[in-house]
Amino acid sequence: MNKNFIQEEILRSSGVNPKKCMKCGKCSATCPAYDEMEYHPHQFVSMVENGDIEPLMNSKSLYRCLSCFACIDRCPRSVQPAKLVEAVRLAVVRQQGKNHLTANDIPELIDDETPQQLLVSAFRKYTK
Amino acid sequence: MKVSYFPGCTLKNKAKDLDEYARKSAEVLGITLEEIQDWQCCGGVFTTAKNEIATKLSSVRALKDAAAKEQPLVSVCSACHNVIKQTNHAMQTDSDFATKVNNYMAEESLYTGETQVYHYLEMLRDLVGFDALKEKVVNALSGKKIAAYYGCLLLRPNGVMQMDDPENPQIMENFIRAIGATPVLYAMRNECCGGYISMESPDLAANKSNAVVKNAVAAGADMIITACPLCKYNLIKNGAEIPVVYFTEVLAEALGVKEDTNE
Amino acid sequence: MQRVGVFVCWCGSNIAGTVDVAAVAEALKNEPGVVFSTDYQYMCSQAGQDIIKNAIAEHNLTGIVVCSCSPRMHEATFRKTAAAAGLNPYMVEIANIREQCSWVHKDMTTGTEKAIILGKAAVAKVNLNTPLTPGESPVTKRALVIGGGIAGIQTALDIADAGFPVDIVETKPTIGGKMAQLDKTFPTLDCAACILTPKMVDVAQNEKIRIFSYSEVEEVGGFVGNFDVKIKKKARYVKEDICTGCGACVDKCPMKKNPNEFNLGMDNRPAIYIPFAQAVPKVATIDPNACNMLKNGKCGLCARVCAAGAIDYTQKDEIIEEKYGAIVVATGFNPISMEKFDEFAYNQSKDVITSLEFERLTNAAGPTAGHLERPSDGKSPKTIVFVQCVGSRCDACSEKGKEYCSKICCMYTAKHAMLTRDKYPDTDVYVFYIDVRTPGKNFDEFYRRAVEEFGVKYIKGMVGKVTPEGDKLKVQASDLLSNKQLHIDADLVVLAAAIEPDKSARPLATMLTASMDTNDFFTEAHPKLRPVESPTAGVFLSGACQGPKDIPETVSQAGAAASKVIGLLAKDKLTGNPCVAHSNELMCNGCSSCERVCPYGAITYEDKEFRMPNRTTKIRRVASVNPAVCQGCGACTVACPSGAMDLKGFANSQIIAEVDAICK
């Protein structure tokens, strides 16, 4: 897949303008999943801006964003990094047809109290 | 007053307490929750991509249903509320998205975000009024020190949710005051519990949940209330040392339609 | 018929780069009245002006059109050129083919076409110009300085030094402003009080300077050289001329628990107070919201202990009316509220403070006598985290912060961090920065010393969350260079809050009809060439009311503003603007529309006797314009339904001729 095409697609579907970023790192300072991520929110912004998207698409970091929107609210420049993470994740599950979670995995992962919301959210975030 | 009500899937199963006491309390407060017919699951999380249509249709259907009845749409689960409000906002502000959604639902009338979306807490604040709520309290929870746990979904993204100041919210604290208890302020009240990561990475979820509970306890809380089944699950599963209950439970208790919260 | 000369300027490549100047000169040759047309590289230069002068003489020109930059830039220049050649200066028209043409177009064909059209409009207008003669008005040789911080103090001292009387109006009970609250000043670390308080004393002792403290400007009328100002002197319930500042009343006052504004609420003051020991004027002020005598009529202790008999519970606000030739705005700044930034827990913990509060905490005259103690428990902080850019450099659509860089924070934070490490070497000091901006003499060297000599830990990154827990502040932050999320247990967090203009600036700007930008900073007449003048004649700008500034810059600008004031007050008469409104009394129907829209109060109505047919007379109510007050804004000409009101130099017929020329 053409590198520029993916970049454009990600920028378009996310609605994010990474050029607004002033590289303060507040998104990564506020991110609750930081330690689980190989690439951190501020890196998503600068790597997408530079068209360096391949490593992001291959990274587990895509599935670590909790959609807590803290980076969106606290960004002084209104960059909305979480929307970029989401757009790259969608590019992977759509274009590469990769499912990060299958129904077969579920029984092992749940307990008696697991709320439906958890299954639904996880499926939404991890699959096509 | 009648409002449209979107319970959501968890409230029909694991979070029955959230639903049951929401309905009972609303009746006491003079509001009838009319469940949307044939509602479908909201999907749990809002997909922020502009070109993601299908996963948002269930929310639009619920919103259209409420619009047809000219009623506000109320939900009580933080996640459902977040997804529905964000979808409604997209219908209002993203005409490209709205056109695609409306085209898909070709047989029905056009919808462009007319429905007013309320979280149950907003309904208490804006439609009932906390002062009016206070007057209906028969069993004030005096002496209880309650920590409100907002999590992420009620407040963010603030540009869309517009519920309260996302860094210094007051709505749940004012709710706690209205039912006669004392709110406990703590900084972690608007931080993430770990959400659905508990499926894949239980350690991270434990870490996040513990930090929330520890901070609330350090601030002197003897109970945590939440509006989110997943928050409650994560906090309890990771060994919260104080009770974690739905806000509708303490509401029902204060209104005299439930016996005791500390089961 | 006029004899018009056209002069097309290249402005180097500024105009000639996108406009074919020779083609413009050639095209305008054929316009009505044009007898001469040429182009030149720099029309504003000596050589360019000579071309104009020679052409006026040689071709007997009665009007000229200069196609060049904005009239705001060089209209005055070319009017002088015309006058030097014996032409009435108001027979000059400027066609702006730079800002409104060459700079906004990229294509030579389009640019040239538009330049020709603009030139044609100016020619059409100048054909209808008539010579105008400006009137003169006297100058009141007294200046008003609004704001008594370092900017106002320096401006007043410099004006007084030139021999002109100056009044300072300050809303607080003392002059001194923000600088009086500071501990040390960068980059030399002189003590702020040691360099400021002598200046405050100079102000107090200067015979030419009057201080109206605890006072506000209520109303401004008039115009340059002749401002009429009403000043409200708020009741301080103490006779200023009798109070000796002994402080006996302050000691005895029983109402002791009121937040002390001077220490930013970090300690208390009595209901009767003197803000600080070196206050000027050093007189007491009663806070009417705190005083039991004023609220309930019970107490009166201060009056009993005052040996001088200065207390006066019946004092009322007093209005002072004074005339001024010039007004200097020096209303200063404040840190923005941290209320909306509670990810830093400012509202939740006393140990999260702003940098200005930190100044008070380290000031020997502050609430802790200069010992760095945590506001919550008085313990010495062992780990301090400074956060830069809180509310500065935000996105334009941010509801929380400001779009601009507040400019002073990098340096004062370096100062705070350095002084802390110097005085308390066992303290860990972190500074989270986005960029360190230190452009100033000896500024970057200062910052480097903080890092290299004093061991301040500068971390490229931002704080995302501060969580108070137990007696610690858990700081979660990013370290972008080591690509880590940091978790620091801090004892004190200091926020470098963005600064914003004082809230009094906006209503003041309305009174002065001085313009402001979207951030409520006063706009200067020209950002480079007239930085201390407002576009409103006679109104000058000093200090942070015009934009974020440190002390060295403020003092330079204060001096510059003073020199502009002195230049104005040194004149005995001012030449007015002849382009003012006038009313054709025969057409005026007396409707008062013009009077209502005039922002300057220049229009009055009078009953006048008019001759009617058959030797009868009739008394009619008609408008009359005071040309000395009229600023030529033209609002009345638009409002007038009968077409009686017209503006000299911008007559309706001239504007229509321009429009016709453009639309032809």
pLDDT, tens only, C386-405: 999 999 999 988 889 999 99
Burial bucket for residue C133 (CB in 10 Å: 0-12, 13-18, 19+): exposed
The terminus-to-terminus CA distance of chain C in angstroms comes to 21
Chunked into runs of 10 residues, chain A (128 residues) has average pLDDT values of 83 96 97 95 97 94 93 96 95 80 85 90 82
Closest CA relative to residue B203, chosen from C644, A64, C292: A64
Angle at C543 between CA C407 and CA C439, to 5 degrees: 30
CA distances, B55 to each of A93, A116, B41, B43, B62 (Å): 14, 17, 10, 7, 13
pLDDT at C222: 86
pLDDT at C164: 98
Residues of chain B with pLDDT under 70: 107-108, 260-263
Return the partners of chain C (3 or more C-beta pairs < 8 Å). Answer: A, B
Closest CA relative to residue B82, chosen from B114, B49, B56, B110: B56
pTM (predicted TM-score): 0.90
SS (H, E, C) C348-384: CCCCEEEHHHHHHHHCCCCCCCCCCCCCCCCCCCCEE
Structural domains of chain B, ranges and CATH numbers in brackets: 2-120 (1.20.1050.140), 139-255 (3.40.50.11810)
Does residue C348 register a pLDDT over 70? yes
Residue among C340, C348, C469 whose CB faces B185 most closely: C348
A37 vs A27: CA distance, rounded Å = 13
SS (H, E, C) C520-550: CCECCCECCCECCECCCCCEEECHHHCCCCC
Residue among C398, C461, C483 whose CB faces A76 most closely: C398
Q: Cβ–Cβ of C341/B167 closer than 8 Å?
A: yes
**Max Cα separation, chain C?**
103
What residue type is assigned to position C62 of the chain? T
pLDDT at B260: 60
Q: Is C37 helix (H, G, I), strand (E, B) or coil?
A: strand
What residue type is assigned to position C186 of the chain? F
Return the partners of chain B (3 or more C-beta pairs < 8 Å). Answer: A, C
Closest CA relative to residue C7, chosen from C121, C103, C92, C76: C92
C328 vs C326: CA distance, rounded Å = 7
Q: Cβ–Cβ of A115/B13 closer than 8 Å?
A: yes
Q: Cβ–Cβ of B165/C342 closer than 8 Å?
A: yes
SS3 content of chain C, % helix, strand, coil (to 5): 30, 25, 45
Work out the mean pLDDT of chain C and round it to a whole number. Answer: 96
Does residue C352 register a pLDDT over 70? yes
C516, C517, C520, C521 alpha-carbon torsion, rounded to 10°: -80
Burial bucket for residue B131 (CB in 10 Å: 0-12, 13-18, 19+): exposed
Mean of the pLDDT values across residues C302-320? 97
Structural domains of chain C, ranges and CATH numbers in brackets: 4-126 (3.40.50), 143-234+317-332+502-569 (3.50.50.60), 248-305 (no CATH), 334-500 (3.50.50.60), 581-648 (3.30.70.3270)
Q: What are the tens digits of pLDDT across the range B168-201?
A: 999 999 999 999 999 999 999 999 999 999 988 8
Residue C657 touches partner A, C-beta closer than 8 Å: no
What Rg do the C-alpha atoms of chain B give, in angstroms?
A: 18
B83 vs B35: CA distance, rounded Å = 17
Q: Is C289 helix (H, G, I), strand (E, B) or coil?
A: coil
What residues of chain C lie within 8 A of the CB of B93, using their CB?
none
Lateral strand order in the sheet of C383-390: C352-354, C492-497, C383-390, C428-433, C457-460
Q: What are the tens digits of pLDDT across the range C402-452?
A: 999 999 999 999 999 999 999 999 999 999 999 999 999 999 999 999 999
Does residue C600 register a pLDDT over 80? no
C127 vs A34: CA distance, rounded Å = 73
8 Å CB contact between C331 and C508? yes
Structural domains of chain A, ranges and CATH numbers in brackets: 3-97 (1.10.1060.10), 101-128 (no CATH)
B28 vs B19: CA distance, rounded Å = 15
Q: Cβ–Cβ of C464/A31 closer than 8 Å?
A: yes
Does residue C240 register a pLDDT over 70? yes
Q: What are the tens digits of pLDDT across the range C19-72?
A: 999 999 999 999 999 999 999 999 999 999 999 999 999 999 999 999 999 998
Q: Between β-strands C581-583 and C645-647, what pairing exists: parallel, antiparallel or unpaired?
A: antiparallel
pLDDT at B109: 78
What residues of chain B lie within 8 A of the CB of C345, using their CB?
187
> Would you say how long chain C is, in residues?
664
What residues of chain A lie within 8 A of the CB of B205, using their CB?
none
Q: Cβ–Cβ of C469/B214 closer than 8 Å?
A: yes
Q: Cβ–Cβ of A69/B157 closer than 8 Å?
A: yes
Closest chain C residue to B191, measured at CA = C465
Tell which B residues from 42 to 71 touch C, by Cβ distance under 8 Å: none
Residue, of A99 and C315, whose pLDDT is higher: C315
Percentage of residues of chain B with pLDDT beyond 90: 90
Burial bucket for residue B211 (CB in 10 Å: 0-12, 13-18, 19+): buried
What residues of chain A lie within 8 A of the CB of C343, using their CB?
30, 74
pLDDT at A101: 82
What residues of chain A lie within 8 A of the CB of C463, using their CB?
26, 29
Q: Cβ–Cβ of A23/C434 closer than 8 Å?
A: yes
Lateral strand order in the sheet of C34-40: C34-40, C4-9, C63-68, C92-96
